[in-house]
Amino acid sequence: MLKILKKRETALALIILVMVGAFSTRAAGFAAPANLANIFTDTSILIILALGQMTVILTKSIDLSVAANLAFTGMAVAMLDAAFPGLPLILIVLVAIAIGTALGTINGFLVWRLQIPPIVVTLGTLTIYRGMAFVLSGGAWVNAHQMTPTFLNVPRTVFLGLPVLGWTALLIVIAMALVLRHTPFGRATYASGGNPVAAVYAGIDVGKTRFRAFQLSGALAGLCGYLWVSRYAVAYVDIANGFELDSIAACVIGGIAIAGGIGSVLGTVLGALFLGVIKNALPVIGISPFTQMAISGAVIILAVVVNARREQARGRIILRPTKTDVTIKGAAA
C-alpha cells in the first residue's frame, strides 16, 4: 500500500481529486459527473497530443512542431471537406493521419539522418508548418457553414454518456499503453532515452527509434488536426497556437523526464487532466488569465524540480525486462 501511495501517478491523481473538491466549494456543480465528463472531453485533444509528445521525449528528444502540424493538417482536411463534401469521413480522417505522419517523418529524418538537434529541427518546422497553413488557405478561414454535418458532428456524438471525441482519446490511451509496455518499439523508446550508449550495445538503433517516435507524434498530431477543427467548427492559421507548450507541460507534470527514459502513459494522462481541471476551474472562480498563466508556469517548474530529484534517487530505466528474461532467470535458478 505504501509503495502505491509513493508513486507519482497516485499522488497526482489525489491532487486532482483535492482540486476538484476544492473548486466545487466555489462553483456549484463543478464535481458533477456531467461536468467532469465535459472536462475530460475538453482535455481529450491535449491528452492525444501529449501522448505523442511523451514518446518523443522518452527518446531524449522534443517536438515543438506538434501544434503547427495540427494547424496545417486541420486546415488541409477542412478545405478538403469543403471542396469535396461527398468524401467519406473515414477517408478524411486517414488523410489527416497521413499528412501528420508525413510532417513527423520530415522531423524524424532531419534528426536521424542529418543529426540536427531535435529542438532546432522542430523550432524550424514549427514556423514552416504554420507558414504552409497560411499559404494553403491564403489566410482565409474555413467556417462551420462550409463543412459537412458529418465532418462536424461525429466527434460530438454522445455514446454511453461520453462524446466520440472522449472515446477516441480513451482508445488511444489504451493503445499507447500497450505499445510502450509490450512491444519492441516501446522497450527501444525507453532504452534510447534512458542510456543511448547502452541501448546501442543492446542492439537498438537509437536513430531509427527516434525517427519512429517523431512519426508517431506526427500521426497523432494529424488526428488531432481533424478533431480540433470538427470540435470548434472553424479552421484558421493560428489554431492551437502555443498548444505545443501545453503538451510538454502535461508530460512534465505527469512525471516524464525531459532527459528521457522515464515516465508512463498514465502519468501523461493525469498531467493533461491536471491542466484541464485548472483551465476549466480558474475562470469559473474569477481568476484572471494572467494569473492562470503564472499558476501553470509555477506548477511546471515545481514538476521539473520534483522530476530531477526523483531521477537522482531512482536512476534511469535502460531496458524493461521481458517475459523471456524472466523465464531465463527462473531456469538458471
pLDDT of 323 over the 60 cut? no
Cβ(122)–Cβ(110) below 8 Å: no
CA distance 137 to 218: 21
Of 38-52, 80-94, 226-240, 310-324, the range with the lowest mean pLDDT is: 310-324
Instruction: Assess contact for 146 and 235: CB atoms under 8 A.
Output: no
Pick the CATH number of 33-319 from 2.40.160, 3.30.450, 1.10.3470, 3.10.450: 1.10.3470
For residue 7, pLDDT over 90 is answered with no
Query: Quick one: pLDDT at residue 307?
Result: 66
Confidence of residue 201 (pLDDT cuts 50, 70, 90): confident
Q: Is the pLDDT of residue 81 over 60?
A: yes
Please answer whether residues 214 and 228 qualify as being in contact, where contact means their C-beta atoms are separated by less than 8 angstroms.
Answer: no
Mean pLDDT of 28-45: 89
Where does the pLDDT of residue 312 fall: very low under 50, low under 70, confident under 90, or very high at 90 and above?
A: low
pLDDT category, 215, cuts 50, 70, 90? very high
CA nearest to 59, candidates 105, 110, 111, 124? 111
State residue 166's pLDDT score: 94
Query: What does the alpha-carbon distance between residue 303 and residue 291 come to, in Å, rounded to a whole number?
Result: 18
pLDDT of residue 313 exceeding 80, the answer is: no
Q: What pLDDT, on the 0 to 100 scale, is given for residue 293?
A: 72
Entry pTM: 0.89
Model confidence at 77: pLDDT above 60: yes
Question: So what's the pLDDT on residue 321?
Answer: 52
Measure the CA–CA gap between 222 and 226, rounded to whole angstroms.
7
Q: Which of 206 and 299 is assigned the larger pLDDT?
A: 206
How many C-beta atoms surround the C-beta of residue 131 within 10 A?
13
pLDDT single digits (tens) 182-195: 999 999 999 999 88
Dihedral sign computed on CA atoms, order 137, 141, 147, 149: positive
Band of pLDDT at residue 8, cut at 50, 70 and 90: confident
pLDDT digits (tens, 9 = 90+) for 124-182: 999 999 999 999 999 899 999 999 999 999 999 988 889 999 999 999 999 999 999 99
Residues of the chain above pLDDT 90, percent? 60
The residue ranges of every structural domain in the chain are 33-319
Cβ atoms 104, 213 nearer than 8 A = no
How confident is residue 31, by pLDDT bands cut at 50, 70 and 90?
A: confident
pLDDT tens-digit profile of 83-119? 999 899 999 999 999 999 999 999 999 999 999 999 9
- Give the dihedral sign, CA 225/45/265/301: positive
